[in-house]
């Protein structure tokens, strides 16, 4: 065996320094929920909060974070020790504290993890691996300890085995444990008899090994300055090094193998390496990606790789093309250790904190929160303080209170087949329809009092079908002027008077050829979009005698009014229209966009466009979109597209408030995008 003892003290110091560098920084800028824990398991458990599905009228709505779900701070019992390693298996997290503790945490409910048991451990804990009903814990100088975890509430150390050298990491596969030491290479341990583990072979390696991964009959070692070492372990009593690959970094700290590729975290160089290992005798680097900080630990699956990048956080890579990996997201939790299972990342931050992060929408970094609605989401009507009013699938009218993003409250008005809705202070006006047994449409105006949004009260339901036989199958929008409602749809506008607060009486019709889609009322003017006339401005000062005062052809159906400007969709993009003179509106600028906008919202100096359909550039076919587009309109004479945001669904409507964009995603529900940057 090569003489390495002269360098051991140096390596130990370097090892500790590397770990501290990888772990010892906090970034709480994006932590959503922080749960403080005290100095006992009972108090930790009491401090957690439940989050369960909210059931309303037999509809289940689930709210889930697309980012940070939970933070547990100071998880050690005495507040002084640090998390050495974590392993996730099924619905349990197994966590070891650096010097003296082993915890089992029930993570069935990701919003409410519970410490269910703990166990004192000897020595300086380094690494843990769970396989079946057993946990294998190694300490720096006391070897391996086997813990029976059949009863998760009562784990027991059933055996131990002292091993030479200073243990660094462990991997268990079948009846064998593979233990790595800093200076003495790899030890293969027969664990068939859990009460009597035995070392059956060992192999010294060229340098200072930090990590091992077993795949089939091969062991892959991150072997310090010597890079990647591949061992044939077909014969467990006689392992052999069959190839090595020098890596251009400082010292590989972690290796992970998936399919025909090995992924290396190359330590101080900050490199993430992808190595083709299809030919075990001739591994070759196919790509590398430089990162700002230490490359501490790595994991990979079909399309993604994850790298603990020290102070820079957890990086998520797209690796569909192994030759050209690229970063798709940075989770700003400073870390050197983590574990991935299913769609969750369990991230150790600053040695003391365990963060659970939902990765289900890792391709959508701007998506901050999501309220899943099984029936889908068609349109956002309005947002007043913490209440969001939407038309959901079926279609139905929903009120979502997001005061607590951890547990939004949902309520449903007692009305289905919703066509249009309008919120006016504490009253909601809803147009709906019902198809009777003779297949005839009956259309209604429903009025609800929402003074108490938790218990909306139905005030009236008026059948208006006999007054609007020519409005067509669908009503598209609704507006209100004083005590009159104006419905837009096929063949123009229909005007109804609100009598005694809740009674509805038909007044008159204002016929317009084609289909009228949207209506916005500003003082004595109604702005409408129409399929044949474009954008129309109508004088409604005399509700019994409506008059068209101007038209802008080839505009619509979506538009947004802001002061003396209208931001209007066209078949090819966006027009800005000066309406200072309502009798003579003028298009002052336009910009071509990626398609025909479906909805428009302006906030501050930006316009937000949703697209329901876009043309696929490859197939030239029209397909559903997944894009929200942002345009800088601070200078109306110099418009600039600044960003396309991809979302998990088809956007139908958009609303902006503060740093957040609220999007109704047709197939998904309500999405909240973070646009602070």
What digits encode the pLDDT tens for the residues 147-202?
999 999 999 999 999 988 888 899 999 999 999 987 788 999 999 999 999 999 99
Answer yes or no: do 662 and 613 share one domain.
yes
427 belongs to a structural domain:
no
Rounded CA separation 659/606 (Å):
12
Low-confidence ranges of the chain (pLDDT < 50): 1-21, 23-80, 470-472
Q: In this structure, what is the dihedral angle of CA atoms 662, 664, 667, 670, given to the nearest 10 degrees?
A: 50
pLDDT of residue 148: 97
301 belongs to a structural domain:
yes
465 belongs to a structural domain:
no
73 belongs to a structural domain:
yes
Domain residues for the domain of 393 are 364-416+554-677
The token pair at 318 is 């797209």
Question: How many structural domains does the chain have?
Answer: 2
Answer yes or no: do 316 and 402 share one domain.
no
Q: Where among 362, 397, 425 does a domain terminate? A: 362
Answer yes or no: do 403 and 322 share one domain.
no
Rounded CA separation 239/279 (Å):
18
- Say if residue 650 is exposed, middle or buried (CB neighbours under 10 Å; 0-12, 13-18, 19+): buried
Rounded CA separation 428/411 (Å):
14
Rounded CA separation 586/541 (Å):
23
Q: Where among 344, 362, 380 does a domain terminate? A: 362
pLDDT of residue 621: 87
215 belongs to a structural domain:
yes
Rounded CA separation 657/330 (Å):
25
546 belongs to a structural domain:
no
332 belongs to a structural domain:
yes
Answer yes or no: do 23 and 168 share one domain.
yes
Answer yes or no: do 320 and 371 share one domain.
no
Taking the complete model, does pTM exceed 0.75, yes or no?
no
CATH, residue 595: 2.40.128.630
Answer yes or no: do 356 and 376 share one domain.
no
Residue 393 per-residue DSSP state? T
Q: What region does 554 belong to: left with phi over 0, alpha with psi -120 to 50, or beta?
A: left
190 belongs to a structural domain:
yes
The token pair at 78 is 């005495």
pLDDT of residue 221: 93
Answer yes or no: do 202 and 282 share one domain.
yes
CATH, residue 309: 2.130.10.10
pLDDT of residue 424: 93
pLDDT of residue 5: 33
Cα–Cα distances (Å) from 157 to 108, 124, 144, 179, 195, in that order, read 25, 16, 11, 18, 10
Rounded CA separation 102/95 (Å):
6
Helices H, strands E: what count in the chain?
2, 59
Answer yes or no: do 356 and 369 share one domain.
no
Answer yes or no: do 622 and 596 share one domain.
yes
Answer yes or no: do 145 and 164 share one domain.
yes
Answer yes or no: do 133 and 69 share one domain.
yes
Rounded CA separation 532/537 (Å):
14
Closest Cα to residue 95, out of 332, 342, 345, 338?
338
pLDDT of residue 618: 78
Q: In this structure, what is the dihedral angle of CA atoms 299, 305, 306, 309, given to the nearest 10 degrees?
A: 110
For tokens 């920084």, the residue is 25
Answer yes or no: do 209 and 221 share one domain.
yes
Q: Where among 319, 339, 362 does a domain terminate? A: 362
């Amino acid at each position: 065996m090569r003489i390495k003892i002269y360098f051991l003290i140096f390596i130990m110091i370097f090892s500790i320094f590397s770990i501290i560098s990888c772990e010892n920084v906090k970034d709480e800028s994006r932590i959503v929920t922080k749960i403080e824990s005290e100095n006992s398991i009972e108090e930790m458990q009491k401090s957690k909060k439940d989050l369960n599905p909210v059931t309303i009228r037999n509809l289940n709505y689930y709210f889930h974070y697309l980012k940070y779900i939970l933070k547990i701070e100071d998880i050690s019992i005495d507040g002084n020790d640090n998390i050495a390693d974590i392993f996730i298996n099924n619905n349990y997290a197994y966590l070891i504290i650096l010097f003296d503790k082993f915890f089992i945490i029930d993570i069935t409910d990701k919003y409410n993890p519970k410490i269910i048991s703990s166990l004192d451990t000897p020595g300086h804990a380094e690494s843990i691996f769970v396989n079946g009903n057993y946990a294998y814990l190694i300490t720096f100088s006391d070897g391996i300890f086997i813990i029976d975890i059949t009863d998760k509430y009562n784990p027991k150390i059933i055996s131990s085995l002292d091993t030479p050298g200073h243990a660094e990491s462990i991997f268990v596969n079948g009846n064998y444990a593979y233990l790595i030491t800093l200076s003495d290479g790899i030890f293969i341990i027969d664990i068939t008899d859990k009460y009597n583990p035995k070392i059956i072979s060992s192999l010294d390696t060229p340098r200072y090994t930090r990590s091992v991964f077993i795949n089939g009959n091969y062991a892959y070692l991150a072997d310090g300055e010597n890079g990647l070492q591949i061992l044939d372990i077909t014969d467990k009593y006689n392992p052999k090094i069959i190839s090595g690959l020098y890596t251009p970094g400082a010292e590989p700290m972690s290796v992970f193998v998936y399919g025909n590729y090995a992924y290396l975290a190359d330590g101080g160089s900050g490199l993430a390496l992808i190595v083709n290992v299809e030919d075990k005798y001739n591994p070759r680097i196919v790509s590398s990606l430089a990162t700002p900080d230490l490359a501490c630990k790595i994991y990979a699956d079909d399309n993604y790789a994850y790298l603990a990048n020290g102070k820079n956080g957890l990086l998520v890579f797209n690796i569909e093309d192994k030759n050209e990996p690229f970063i798709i997201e940075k989770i700003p939790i400073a870390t050197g250790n983590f574990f991935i299972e299913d769609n969750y990342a369990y991230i150790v931050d600053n040695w003391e904190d365990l963060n659970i992060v939902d990765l289900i929408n890792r391709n959508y970094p701007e998506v901050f929160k999501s309220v899943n609605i099984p029936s889908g989401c068609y349109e956002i009507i309005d947002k007043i303080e913490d209440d969001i009013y939407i038309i959901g699938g079926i279609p139905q009218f929903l009120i979502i209170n997001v005061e607590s993003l951890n547990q939004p409250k949902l309520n449903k008005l007692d009305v289905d087949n919703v066509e249009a809705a309008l919120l006016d202070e504490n009253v909601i006006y809803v147009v709906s329809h019902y198809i009777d047994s003779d297949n005839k449409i009956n259309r209604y105006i429903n009025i609800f009092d929402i003074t108490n949004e938790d218990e909306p009260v139905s005030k009236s339901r008026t059948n208006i079908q006999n007054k609007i036989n020519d409005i067509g199958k669908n009503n598209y929008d609704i507006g209100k002027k004083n005590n009159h409602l104006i419905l837009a749809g096929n063949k123009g506008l229909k005007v109804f008077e609100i009598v005694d607060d809740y009674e509805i009486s038909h007044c008159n019709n204002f016929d317009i050829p084609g289909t009228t889609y949207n209506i916005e009322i500003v003082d004595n003017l109604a702005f409408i979009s129409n399929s044949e006339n474009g954008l129309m401005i109508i004088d409604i000062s005399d509700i019994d005698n409506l008059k068209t005062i101007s038209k802008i052809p080839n505009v619509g159906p979506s538009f947004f009014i802001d002061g003396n400007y209208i931001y209007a969709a066209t078949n090819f993009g966006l027009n800005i229209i000066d309406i200072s003179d309502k009798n003579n509106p003028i298009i002052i600028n336009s910009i071509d966009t990626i398609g025909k906008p479906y909805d428009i919202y302006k906030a501050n100096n930006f316009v937000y466009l949703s697209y329901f359909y876009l043309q696929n550039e490859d197939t030239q076919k029209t397909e559903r979109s997944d894009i929200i587009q942002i345009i800088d309109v601070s200078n109306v004479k110099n418009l600039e597209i600044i960003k396309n945001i991809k979302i998990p669904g088809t956007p139908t409507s958009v609303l902006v408030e503060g740093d957040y964009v609220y999007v109704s995603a047709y197939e998904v529900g309500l999405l909240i995008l973070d646009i602070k940057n």
